[in-house]
Amino acid sequence: MDKLKDFLLKKFKSSSSEENSGGVKVVFIKELADQLSSIRCLILFALIALTGIVSFYSAASNIGAVSEDSGANFILIRLFATSGTSLPSFTWFLSLLGPLVGLSMGFDAINAEQNSGTLTRLLAQPIYRDDVINGKFLARLFILALMTFALGGFVAGMGIILTGVAPEGEEIVRLLIYLLLSIVYMAFWLALSMLFSVIFRQTATSALSGIALWLFLTIFLPIFAGMVADTLYPITDKADALTQLNNIRIAQGISRLSPSTLYSEAAITILSPSVRTLGPVLMEQAYGAIPGFLPLGQSLLLIWPHLTGLIAGTVIIFGITYTLFIRQEIRA
Amino acid sequence: MNGQNIIEIQNLTKRYGSITAVDNLNLSISKGEIFGLLGPNGAGKTTTILMLMGLSEPTSGSISVAGLNPTREPIKVKRIVGYMPDSIGFYGDMTGRENLYYTAKLNRIPEERQDDLIDSLLAKVGLKDAADRKVREYSRGMRQRLGVADVLLKDPEVVFLDEPTLGLDPEGTAELLDIITELGKKEGKTVLISSHLLHQVQAICDRVGIFVKGKLVAAGTISELAQKIGGERAIEIKASPIEAFPSDVVRSMPGVNSISMQNDMIVIDGAGHELAPKIVRELVAQNMDIYHLKIRGSDLDDIYHRYFQEGGASSNG
Ligand SMILES: Nc1ncnc2c1ncn2[C@@H]1O[C@H](COP(=O)(O)OP(=O)(O)OP(=O)(O)O)[C@@H](O)[C@H]1O
Ligand SMILES: [Mg+2]
């Protein structure tokens, strides 16, 4: 935490002092152009856009069933979290593929330049090392934001046309929050992959480490969580309510270590105002509850820990990346 | 700080774990000087340059470049110092010109000056025709030429060139040496060159320093160094007809130790500098035609090998 404070303080100082080299802007623009013209970036965006649009379309075609279930309120944003007849939801795809976008953007951010010898030349110019890492991160973040808003906007527009329902004000706010959440989620993976690009000298190593961690966190951790919970609190025929409750709590606690769980939970909450709680609900709690929609403030309150968790994770990982990069021996 | 010395290095040491890459180095280089850094592979030349640039932190000791401390004020140092790394890299999917524009922007060269400056530099290093090709398609030497343009772009006060002639063709080498000489002699820039090509270093450097295993074993002008290792210098002569060689007369000259034949050369061991004119006069008197005369030890080759052997005797011999 101290390091983080140091880091923020230093940032503040370097941006306010007149010694500001302005290098961050130059690096930012160059990296932006690089990313926008990179085929890798294009392919992943196409992949996400395609799966997203198809899944959303399939959910929208299923709209009759959806509105029958729970009314037509917030129908547009609910479509993001609704699975179609044969396809998982838009949110599900984004939670699975979003990390890949982040990873693909960052895994060779530093080490590729190190290997090609451009990093030494870059750092021999009158700019701070901060400028290099910040410029690279910000440019990628900007593209993530651009992609997300473009895709989100497109899909929402498609939804309006398909459903023929104009969105309410709150719906738009919820959609924006959802898109921001998606950006933060992908930024987490971006920061992680940039960390790997600083730690590992080989781009293949950093790419594989990123993918391994992605597989572990998005796919294996939830399975693993269930296994641990079942071992500690086995659910048998005669298991009492407390055991069942503990089982769920453990499973949820462990799987919340995964950013994709955090993302999915938060996304569902913000997109489906009918979601009232993210934990297990006891009969006595549910008894007397008035069915209806949670106000925006309450939904936000529910996902606040998720959002801050993801942001804090991103900031901490980027802080570590930053510190390692600043201290790195240039030829090591 | 001495106002004359633009680079001042005191007790500089750099360790990588247990390896001492630079060992208690002391060196001053004055403004406008072309200084050659010599030494075998792994001697610590690149490490020294990296520390001078503020790209690597010294383990101990102090450095001043134009009165600035590169560790504490790296930006100010990098503003006035150009550095060409030994393994220079450019962005392969950008053209040579685009790479230079990036450097120009990083150096905050005003936009209106960029075009002309880059054009003239590209012409200077002979890359005019290849300027708009992707660097990926450049040959090793073309990259090196682009590197020279890249370094000169910021109009540096001090230039560090780490093996700048690596991969250049003879013409490119000659052009580069011209550029360097011009920088030093006409524009008063300070140039520090690390190189393994002794003849080139000898041709353009005012002073040289010889590094062995992180230590500076000698520094000075070439004649100073020659003087220091003096004593055992020999003269080699190629002349004909060989039968006319007045060996008795020469042998009796004061300062001559021995005379021998090596291949078709006569080698006279002794105090070379004083002897040479006398011997020449003698040979001319004998009507001999002299094709070659060299005082061994006055040449950077000889100096280098002598110091290298002394400094690296324990392992490299
Ligand atoms: N990152 C590193 N980690 C550990 N040791 C290093 C590192 N970089 C360099 N060294 C060591 O430092 C010493 C000096 O290396 P340096 O590159 O300065 O030599 P040099 O004189 O430039 O050699 P060359 O003529 O081959 O370029 C060598 O022994 C090398 O092994
Ligand atoms: Mg070197």
Q: Which of B:1-60 have CB within 8 Å of A?
A: 16, 46, 50, 53, 55-56
The predicted model gives B244-255 an average pLDDT of: 77
Report the atom number in ligand 1 closest to the C-alpha of B163: 27
Reported as a pLDDT band with limits 50, 70 and 90, residue B311 is low
Paired residues of B289 in beta bridges? B240
| Confidence at residue A13, expressed as pLDDT on a 0 to 100 scale | 52
Confirm or reject contact between B92 and chain A (CB < 8 A): yes
In total, the C-beta contacts within 8 angstroms joining chain A to chain B are 70
Q: Is 70 exceeded by the pLDDT of residue A275? A: no
| Confidence at residue A218, expressed as pLDDT on a 0 to 100 scale | 87
Residue-averaged pLDDT of chain A:
84
Residue with CA at minimum distance from ligand 1 atom 30: B42
Q: Is 80 exceeded by the pLDDT of residue A295? A: no
Q: Which residues on chain A are in Cβ contact (under 8 Å) with B56?
A: 329-331
Report the side by side order of strands in the sheet with B158-162: B81-84, B158-162, B190-194, B34-38, B207-212, B215-220
Q: Is 70 exceeded by the pLDDT of residue B285? A: yes
Cα of B79 to nearest chain A Cα, Å: 5
Q: Average the pLDDT over each of A150-159, A273-282, A299-308 and give the range with the smallest value.
A: A273-282
Cα–Cα dist B165/B195, whole Å:
8
| Confidence at residue A257, expressed as pLDDT on a 0 to 100 scale | 85
**Of A21, A117, A125, Cβ closest to residue B85:** A117
Q: Average the pLDDT over each of A33-37, A58-62, A156-160 and give the range with the smallest value.
A: A58-62
CB atoms within 10 A of CB B61: 16
* Beta strand spans in chain B (E): 5-16, 19-30, 34-38, 60-65, 81-84, 158-162, 190-194, 207-212, 215-220, 234-240, 256-262, 265-270, 289-295
Q: What is the DSSP letter of B68?
A: B
**Of A113, A117, A329, Cβ closest to residue B88:** A117
Question: How far, in Å, is the centroid of ligand 2 from the Cα of A331?
Answer: 11
Q: Is 90 exceeded by the pLDDT of residue B114? A: yes
SS (H, E, C) A231-285: HHCCCCCCCCHHHHHHHHHHHHHHHCCCHHHHHHHHHHHHHCCCCCCCCCCCHHH
- Asked if residue A253 belongs to a domain, the reply is yes
Q: Testing the interface with B: which of A14, A113, A125 to mutate, by most B Cβ within 10 A?
A: A125
Please indicate whether residue B147 or residue B227 has the higher confidence score (pLDDT).
Answer: B147
Angle (CA) A41-B134-B140 rounded to 5° is 120
Q: For A63-99, how does the pLDDT look when each residue is reduced to its tens digit (9 = 90+)?
A: 766 666 666 677 777 778 777 677 788 888 888 889 9
Q: Long-range contacts for B63-71 (Cβ within 8 Å, ≥24 apart)?
A: B63/B7, B63/B8, B63/B9, B63/B10, B63/B12, B64/B1, B64/B7, B64/B8, B64/B9, B65/B6, B65/B7, B65/B158, B66/B6, B66/B7, B66/B157, B66/B158, B67/B1
Interface touch B92/A23, C-beta < 8 Å: no
Token pair belonging to B206: 């005012």
Task: Indicate the top mutation candidate among B16, B86, B216 to test ligand 1's pocket, ranked by most ligand atoms within 8 A of CB.
Answer: B16
Angle (CA) B58-B205-B83 rounded to 5° is 40
Question: How far, in Å, is the centroid of ligand 1 from the Cα of A139?
Answer: 34
Reported as a pLDDT band with limits 50, 70 and 90, residue A282 is low
| Confidence at residue A15, expressed as pLDDT on a 0 to 100 scale | 47
The predicted model gives B69-91 an average pLDDT of: 92
Neighbours of ion ligand 2 (CB under 5 A): B 46, 86
Confirm or reject contact between B87 and chain A (CB < 8 A): yes
Cα–Cα dist B271/A286, whole Å:
108
Interface touch A121/B150, C-beta < 8 Å: yes
Task: Indicate the top mutation candidate among B22, B25, B47 to test ligand 1's pocket, ranked by most ligand atoms within 8 A of CB.
Answer: B47
- Asked if residue A13 belongs to a domain, the reply is no
Q: Which residues on chain B are in Cβ contact (under 8 Å) with A330?
A: 50, 55-56
Q: Is 80 exceeded by the pLDDT of residue B234? A: no
What percent of chain A clears pLDDT 90, i.e. is strictly above it? 39
Cα of A199 to nearest chain B Cα, Å: 18
Cα of A219 to nearest chain B Cα, Å: 36
Residue A167: name the closest of A71, A296, A72 by CA: A72
The predicted model gives B232-243 an average pLDDT of: 78
Q: Where in chain B is the domain with CATH 3.30.70.100?
A: 231-296
Reported as a pLDDT band with limits 50, 70 and 90, residue A18 is very low
Cα–Cα dist A310/A313, whole Å:
5
Which range among A28-32, A216-220, A242-246 has the greatest average pLDDT?
A28-32
Q: At what angle do helices A90-106 and A203-215 cross, to 10 degrees?
A: 160
Q: Is 80 exceeded by the pLDDT of residue A238? A: no
Q: How many domains, chain A?
A: 1
| Confidence at residue A90, expressed as pLDDT on a 0 to 100 scale | 86
Domain span at residue A66 reads 22-282+289-327
- Asked if residue A65 belongs to a domain, the reply is yes
Interface touch B75/A128, C-beta < 8 Å: yes
DSSP of A11-29, one letter per residue? HHHHHHSTT---HHHHHHH
| Confidence at residue B167, expressed as pLDDT on a 0 to 100 scale | 82
Q: Average the pLDDT over each of A277-281, A321-325, B100-104 and give the range with the smallest value.
A: A277-281
Minimum-distance ligand to the CA of B40?
1
Residue B206: name the closest of B64, B6, B81, B29 by CA: B29
Residue-averaged pLDDT of chain B:
86
Token pair belonging to B244: 């006319």
Cα–Cα dist B183/B148, whole Å:
12
Q: For A154-175, how does the pLDDT look when each residue is reduced to its tens digit (9 = 90+)?
A: 888 888 888 887 788 888 898 9
Q: Testing the interface with A: which of B48, B75, B87, B161 to mutate, by most A Cβ within 10 A?
A: B75
Give the β-pairing of B158-162 and B81-84: parallel
Report the atom number in ligand 1 closest to the C-alpha of A329: 1
Q: For B143-186, how does the pLDDT look when each residue is reduced to its tens digit (9 = 90+)?
A: 999 999 999 999 999 999 999 988 888 888 888 898 889 888 88
The predicted model gives B249-266 an average pLDDT of: 78
Reported as a pLDDT band with limits 50, 70 and 90, residue A268 is confident
| Confidence at residue B316, expressed as pLDDT on a 0 to 100 scale | 40
Residue with CA at minimum distance from ligand 1 atom 24: B41
Quick one: CA dihedral B140, B145, B146, B150, positive or negative? Answer: positive
| Confidence at residue A169, expressed as pLDDT on a 0 to 100 scale | 83
| Confidence at residue B1, expressed as pLDDT on a 0 to 100 scale | 44
| Confidence at residue B261, expressed as pLDDT on a 0 to 100 scale | 81
* B297 contacts B245 by C-beta, under 8 angstroms: no
Confirm or reject contact between B150 and chain A (CB < 8 A): yes
| Confidence at residue B232, expressed as pLDDT on a 0 to 100 scale | 53
Angle (CA) A151-A154-A156 rounded to 5° is 105
Structure-token match 């690279």, residue found: A136
B152 to chain A: nearest residue by CA?
A125
Quick one: CA dihedral B55, B57, B63, B68, positive or negative? Answer: positive
Interface touch A125/B103, C-beta < 8 Å: yes
Q: Is 60 exceeded by the pLDDT of residue B2? A: no
**pTM to 2 decimal places:** 0.85
The predicted model gives B220-240 an average pLDDT of: 76
Q: Which residues contact A245 (CB under 8 A, 6 or more apart)?
A: A280, A282
Q: Where in chain B is the domain with CATH 3.40.50.300?
A: 5-227
Structure-token match 């706010």, residue found: A173
Token pair belonging to A190: 């971006």
Angle (CA) A264-A270-A271 rounded to 5° is 85
Distances (CA, A) of B58 to A91, A127, B22, B86: 51, 20, 9, 20
| Confidence at residue A112, expressed as pLDDT on a 0 to 100 scale | 94
Cα–Cα dist A217/A185, whole Å:
13
| Confidence at residue A143, expressed as pLDDT on a 0 to 100 scale | 94
Cα of A303 to nearest chain B Cα, Å: 42
* B81 contacts B160 by C-beta, under 8 angstroms: yes
Q: Which residues on chain A are in Cβ contact (under 8 Å) with B150?
A: 121
| Confidence at residue A71, expressed as pLDDT on a 0 to 100 scale | 62
Q: Which residues on chain A are in Cβ contact (under 8 Å) with B74?
A: 128
| Confidence at residue A91, expressed as pLDDT on a 0 to 100 scale | 87
Cα–Cα dist B230/B207, whole Å:
18
Q: Is 90 exceeded by the pLDDT of residue A57? A: no
Angle (CA) B124-B125-B128 rounded to 5° is 80
Q: What is the DSSP letter of B83?
A: E
Minimum-distance ligand to the CA of B50?
1
The predicted model gives B91-112 an average pLDDT of: 94
Token pair belonging to B50: 């990296």
What residue ranges line ligand 1, CB within 6 angstroms? A 329, 331-332; B 16, 19, 21, 39, 41-47, 86
Reported as a pLDDT band with limits 50, 70 and 90, residue A7 is low
* φ, ψ of residue A156 in degrees (nearest 5): -65, -40
Q: Is 90 exceeded by the pLDDT of residue B94? A: yes
3 state SS of B49? helix
Length of chain B: 317
* B213 contacts B47 by C-beta, under 8 angstroms: no
Report the atom number in ligand 1 closest to the C-alpha of B44: 18
Q: Is 70 exceeded by the pLDDT of residue B313? A: no
Reported as a pLDDT band with limits 50, 70 and 90, residue A28 is very high
The fold adopted by the segment(s) B5-227 is Rossmann fold (3.40.50)
Length of chain A: 332
The predicted model gives A144-162 an average pLDDT of: 89
Residue with CA at minimum distance from ligand 1 atom 31: B42
The predicted model gives A258-281 an average pLDDT of: 79
* A126 contacts B107 by C-beta, under 8 angstroms: yes
- Residue type at A91 in one-letter notation: T
| Confidence at residue A291, expressed as pLDDT on a 0 to 100 scale | 59
A118 to chain B: nearest residue by CA?
B89
Cα–Cα dist B225/B222, whole Å:
5
- Asked if residue A2 belongs to a domain, the reply is no
Cα of A49 to nearest chain B Cα, Å: 27
The fold adopted by the segment(s) B231-296 is Alpha-Beta Plaits (3.30.70)
